[in-house]
Amino acid sequence: MGKDVIIACDFNSAEETFAFLDKFTGKKPFVKIGMELFYAEGPQIVREIKNRGHKIFLDLKLHDIPNTVMKAMKVLSNLDVDMVNVHAAGTIAMMEAAIKGLTREDGTRPMLIAVTQLTSTDEERMQNELYINRSLEETVMHYAENAAKAGLNGVVCSPLEAEKVHGVCGKDFVTVTPGIRFADGDAGDQVRITTPARAKEIGSDYIVVGRPITQAEDPVAAYERCVQEFIG
């Protein structure tokens, strides 16, 4: 069953972001802040959106040596976000360090998930350019298992892989899936995509939706359509 729809606020300024969020009168959708907005506005944009009452997925995809990731996560934990992520390719040790850095003195922490393979990556690119001599499915499942071993809450994966991830890592292991488009929409630059309704059927826990909402003629109606199709 779908838990929530996360809107990807892929804007490059606070002004543009708040103009968009102001359209949602009486609603506080779960939002994703990615690299573009965070690098443009810094941590203050996170604080301001949080103060408005939104849940936040801070999508910075940390990938570095374990000690650097641990220290960075200590900083991000203080922003009171609800979800953060790392690249699973950074190894189990890096993911364990991320948890250590993210966990506050009282034992609480944001949800931590790992990116398996980006939804813009297909098997041919993965094998020929990244030189991973396995199938895409094998690689995603192996990365998901590593994330589970490290103690993470779940993974970012294609909605097409969500059901299999649950089969490998258990139903409580969270799947957060971008690559969502309406049936009558444009696929854009993503390869492994599906609709909100289909994502629900095949086991996505959260869907991340950007352009189909942010670039819609009526973003609120598009968001409500997503919620209806995914959560019901």
Cα separation of 14 and 165, whole Å?
Answer: 36
DSSP bridge partners of 154: 113, 174
Catalytic residue among 61, 74, 100, 164: 61
- In the predicted model, what is the mean pLDDT of residues 213-228? 96
Cα separation of 151 and 145, whole Å?
Answer: 10
Domain span at residue 64 reads 4-230
Say how many C-beta atoms besides its own lie within 10 A of residue 228's C-beta: 12
Number of structural domains the chain divides into: 1
Q: Structure tokens of 56?
A: 């936040």
| Mean pLDDT, all residues of the chain | 93
DSSP bridge partners of 111: 83
pLDDT band of residue 52 (cuts 50, 70, 90) is: very high
Cα separation of 27 and 222, whole Å?
Answer: 14
The burial of 184, by beta-carbon neighbours within 10 Å (0-12 exposed, 13-18 middle, 19 or more buried), is given as exposed
pLDDT band of residue 186 (cuts 50, 70, 90) is: low
pLDDT at 201 over 70: yes
H or E stretch at 120: none
Residue type, position 110, single letter = P
Instruction: Residue 95: give its domain's CATH number.
Output: 3.20.20.70
Handedness of CA 65, 66, 68, 69 (dihedral sign): positive
**Does the active-site annotation cover 23?**
no
